[in-house]
Amino acid sequence: MTRLLGCTRYRKQYSAFRDGTLAPQGAAEAQGHLDLCEKCRRRHHALEFGVRLLRALDRESAEQPLLQDQILR
Amino acid sequence: MTATLQTSATADINSAPRRTLSGWSAKPRTGAAATLSNDDNTALVTRYLAGETRAFDELVRRYHSRLNNFIYRMIGDRERAEDLVQEAFVRVHRHLHRFDTTKKFSTWIYTICSNLAKNELRNRSRSPLVFYQSARTASAEEDSRPLQFEDSSSRPDDMFANRHLRELVEQTVAKLSGHHREVFVLRELEGKSYEEIADITHCNLGTVKSRLNRARHSFAEMIAPFID
């Protein structure tokens, strides 16, 4: 049976949960906490959204020509 | 911009034999250079040390953009980040013969960039004038950055919202403490393993784990109120 996880324990395990390195039981407990706790769920989604956006910005910047190439052109 | 290129890095690049400024840029591969793309980093280092200069160009092509982004996230100044990436490649070029090929090349070059970024931040904190000038440059750059991310057919209020979100996430990363920002960027944006982050930052694994956990929570707590 999956234990109920409080915010404090969930926060301690959060990095492992996000990295997908928690054992199945631990991952189920963390997911169970997210299903119940709106505050932690919102923060988790906010992190995922923010990181996706940052990665997109980095990709966009990588596609721009280098400053030195623009100068030499 | 001309002044920006007058760095010691550029001077070294210009004085390096058989090397031009454009020769170190991350241009798309063409012809024979494309064959190098199958080599791993260690093989490229070996080829370069054996006299195949194109191998160094391939290393630059592989790492230039991601190092530029990494340093930019660390110091918040795109133009200065470009200078420091050039400096990093100069150092790699200068010390490549001493590189231990049993180690990971990416860890080595990220460590060089991490040290350069930390030195930059340290120098800024000692010189308020430099910090002020850098901050002005950074904000001017942001203001004039074209809105290429948005669909041109979007409504103006959507475009404003998109731009606002971009600035929000950039500022949120910048608000993290230096130690937290470094591990956050290396893990979340550069995809480095915990072990590699420990090597790059000269910290033990436990410190990396605890800093990353705190950094993730801080980032999430700061950004959550602005996201539906």
The CATH number of residue B174's host domain is 1.10.10.10
Chain center to CA of B137: 18
**Is B175 a residue whose pLDDT tops 60?**
yes
The CATH number of residue B13's host domain is 1.10.1740.10
Contacts of A22 in chain B (CB under 8 A): none
- Residue of B65, B82, B66 whose CA lies nearest to B120: B82
Q: Does B148 touch chain A (CB under 8 A)?
A: yes
Domain ranges of chain A: 7-72
What is residue B125's predicted lDDT score, i.e. its pLDDT?
A: 78
Are both B130 and B26 inside the same structural domain? yes
Number of domains, chain B: 2
CB B115 within 8 A of CB B182: no
Contacts of A54 in chain B (CB under 8 A): 73, 169-170, 173, 188-189
Last residue of a domain, one of B145, B180, B214: B145
Are both B125 and B161 inside the same structural domain? no
Q: How far is CA A17 from CA A21, A65, B4, B147, in A?
A: 6, 38, 43, 35
What is residue B124's predicted lDDT score, i.e. its pLDDT?
A: 85
Are both B73 and B160 inside the same structural domain? no
Residues of A within an 8 Å Cβ radius of B: 11-12, 14-15, 18, 42-47, 49-51, 53-58, 60-62, 66-69, 71-72
Residues 198-227 of B with CB under 8 A from A: 209, 212-213, 216-217, 219-221, 223-224, 227
pTM of the complete model: 0.76
Joined tokens for residue B214? 């705190």
Range of the domain at B160: 151-228
Q: Residue B4 is inside which H or E element, if any?
A: helix B2-5
Mean pLDDT of A24-30: 95
Of B184 and B145, the structure prediction assigns the larger pLDDT to B184
Q: How far apart are CA B165 and CA B223, in angstroms?
A: 10
What is residue B101's predicted lDDT score, i.e. its pLDDT?
A: 85
CB B214 within 8 A of CB B179: no
Q: How far is CA B95 from CA A9, A55, B109, B207, in A?
A: 46, 31, 11, 29
Of B90 and B29, the structure prediction assigns the larger pLDDT to B90
Q: How many residue pairs bridge chain A and chain B with CB atoms within 8 Å of each other?
A: 88
Are both B140 and B55 inside the same structural domain? yes
**Average pLDDT for chain B:** 79
Q: How far apart are CA B127 and CA B132, in angstroms?
A: 9
Contact B66 A62 (CB under 8 A): yes
Cβ-nearest to B166 among A53, A62, A69: A53
Are both B98 and B71 inside the same structural domain? yes
What ipTM was assigned to the predicted interfaces of this complex?
A: 0.88
CB A32 within 8 A of CB A59: no
Are both B141 and B156 inside the same structural domain? no
Last residue of a domain, one of B84, B111, B145: B145
What is residue B200's predicted lDDT score, i.e. its pLDDT?
A: 97
Last residue of a domain, one of B145, B167, B189: B145
Nearest CA in chain B to A50: B169
Q: Does B147 touch chain A (CB under 8 A)?
A: no
Grade residue B93 by pLDDT with cuts at 50, 70 and 90: very high
Are both B92 and B1 inside the same structural domain? yes
Are both B24 and B98 inside the same structural domain? yes
